[in-house]
Amino acid sequence: MTIYRIKDTPCFCIHIAEYTNGIETTAGFYSKEQLVKADGPISGITYTAEYCTELPVDWYDTEALDDRNKRLKIKEIKFGTKDPFVMEDGYRSTEVTI
pLDDT at residue 86, rounded to an integer: 93
Buried b / exposed e over 55-89, threshold 16 CB at 10 Å, is beeebeeeebbbbeeeebebeebeeeeeebbbbee
More confident residue, 76 or 49: 76
Contact 18, 31 (CB under 8 A): no
Examine the pLDDT at 58 and tell me if it is beyond 80: no
High-pLDDT (> 70) share of the chain, %: 97
At residue 61 the predicted structure's pLDDT band, cuts being 50, 70 and 90, is confident
pLDDT at residue 26, rounded to an integer: 87
Contact 45, 59 (CB under 8 A): no
Query: What are the residue ranges spanned by the domains of the chain?
Result: 3-97
Q: Is 26 helix (H, G, I), strand (E, B) or coil?
A: coil
State pTM to two decimals.
0.68
Q: Average the pLDDT over 32-59 and give the result.
A: 81
Examine the pLDDT at 57 and tell me if it is beyond 80: no
